[in-house]
């Protein structure tokens, strides 16, 4: 379970959702919002969204648990997080949203899609920081 500091509160979620950069895959959508320096004390935060139209409550909860677990695996096995501007990544909010195609995909395919989107977001963060220097 995400610790309280790592969860997006409703107001933070709305701000992150409205101002985020979006990365798409047929199975998942990743929204990435980099907070200002004064808001960055909480570090990396994440949220996992499964729309109501995709499944009943038990199915949505199961998908959220899977997404959260895979996200922890990606963080644990991602040396590129430290190499590719870890400080930039630590002040970001990430919102993973499952799509209708993702619901019908295998767990392995969704896990691979999540990993691919994560790498794409990290490359984007690194690019943004190097272009502003």
Domain edges within the chain: 4-122
Q: Which CATH class is domain 4-122?
A: alpha beta
Contact in structure between 127 and 34 (CB atoms under 8 Å): no
Distance CA 91, CA 86 (A): 9
pLDDT tens digits along 79-125: 654 444 455 677 889 999 999 999 999 999 999 999 999 999 988 87
> To 10 degrees, what angle do helices 57-76 and 107-132 make?
50
Structure tokens at 41: 């004390």
Q: What is the pTM of this model?
A: 0.82
Distance CA 94, CA 106 (A): 23
Sheet of 28-34: strand order equals: 21-24, 28-34, 92-98, 45-49
């Amino acid at each position: 379970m995400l610790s309280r500091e790592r969860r997006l509160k409703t107001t933070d979620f709305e701000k992150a959702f409205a101002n985020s950069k979006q990365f798409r895959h047929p199975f998942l959508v990743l929204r990435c919002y980099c907070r200002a320096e004064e808001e960055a004390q909480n570090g990396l935060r994440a949220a996992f969204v499964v729309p109501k139209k995709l499944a009943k409550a038990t199915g949505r909860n199961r998908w959220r648990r899977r997404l959260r677990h895979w996200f922890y695996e990606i963080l644990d096995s991602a040396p590129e997080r430290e190499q590719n501007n870890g400080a930039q990544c630590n002040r970001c909010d990430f919102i993973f949203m499952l799509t209708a195609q993702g619901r019908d995909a295998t767990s392995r395919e969704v896990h691979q899609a999540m990993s691919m989107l994560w790498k794409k977001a990290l490359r984007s963060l690194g690019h943004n920081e190097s272009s502003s220097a």
